[in-house]
Amino acid sequence: MQRDHLEQFILDNRETFDGSTPGLRVWGEINHELDRRQSRRMILWKVSRAAAVVVALLACGALIGVYLFGDQMQQAAALERIAPEYAEAEQYYQEQIHQKYQQLAAYRRDDIVEKDLARLDEVMQELRQELLVAPKGKEEEIVEDLLQSYQAKVAILERVLARLQEASPEINKKEENEETSI
C-alpha cells in the first residue's frame, strides 16, 4: 500500500505535532461550530416531531371518519344492491319529510312529536342494520317495512301540520302569500 506524501510527512514528524496544543480561540471556534450543528439538529428534531404529530392526527381523523361514515356508505351501497327501487323511494320520502319539516318550522311545536319521530328514525336504522345481515328472501320484507316507516313519518308530519294549520290559520295565510309572491 502506498502512502501519500502528507501522511508520510505526518508520520515522520509525529513528535513535533504532539507537543503543540491549539489555542483557546481554536477551541472556541470548534465549540461554537458544535453548538451550531447541535441547534440545527434540535430544530430539525422539533420540526420532525411536529410533522409526526400532524400525520398521526390526520390518520386518527381518517380512521374515525371511516368508522363513523364508512358504515353509512356501506349501508347505502348494500341497500342499493339489495333493492335498487328502494333507493329511489327513499329519496322521494326524504324529500317529502324535509319539506314537511320546513313547513313545521313556522309553527311552535311540542317535543312529543320530535321524540316520536326520533324513535321512528331509530327503528328505521335498526331495519337498515337487519337488512345488511338478512338472509335471502327476507330482504324484500325488510325493505317494505322501511318504506312503511317512511310513509308513517310523512303521514305523522302531515297530520301535525294539518292540526297546526287549523289552530293557526294566520300562519297558513302568510305562507300562501309568500308562495304566490315567489
66 pLDDT higher than 80: no
pLDDT at 180 over 70: no
Q: What residues contact 113, with CB distance under 8 A and at least 6 apart?
A: 156, 160
Task: Identify the pLDDT of residue 46.
Answer: 87
What angle in degrees, to the nearest 10, is found between the helix axes of 169-181 and 139-167?
Answer: 100
The pTM of the full predicted model, rounded to 2 decimals, is 0.46
97 neighbors 154 (Cβ within 8 angstroms): yes
Who contacts 125 (Cβ-Cβ below 8 Å, separation ≥6)?
none
Helix (H) or strand (E) holding 75: helix 24-82
What is the per-residue pLDDT for 145? 83
Neighbours of 130 (CB within 10 A): 15
pLDDT reported for residue 14 = 80
Q: How confident is the model at residue 110 (pLDDT cuts 50, 70, 90)?
A: low
Q: What is the pLDDT of residue 150?
A: 84
pLDDT of residue 37: 80
d(CA 160, CA 120): 15
In this prediction, residue 170 has a pLDDT band, given cuts at 50, 70 and 90, of: low
pLDDT at 79: 62
How far apart (Å, rounded) are the C-alpha atoms in residues 129 and 154? 22
Residue with more model confidence, 34 or 107: 34
Tell me the three cell numbers of residue 99. 319539506
Angle, CA of 61, 64 and 70, to the nearest 5°: 120
pLDDT surpassing 60 at residue 101: yes
**Chain centre distance of CA 164:** 38
Mean pLDDT of the chain: 77
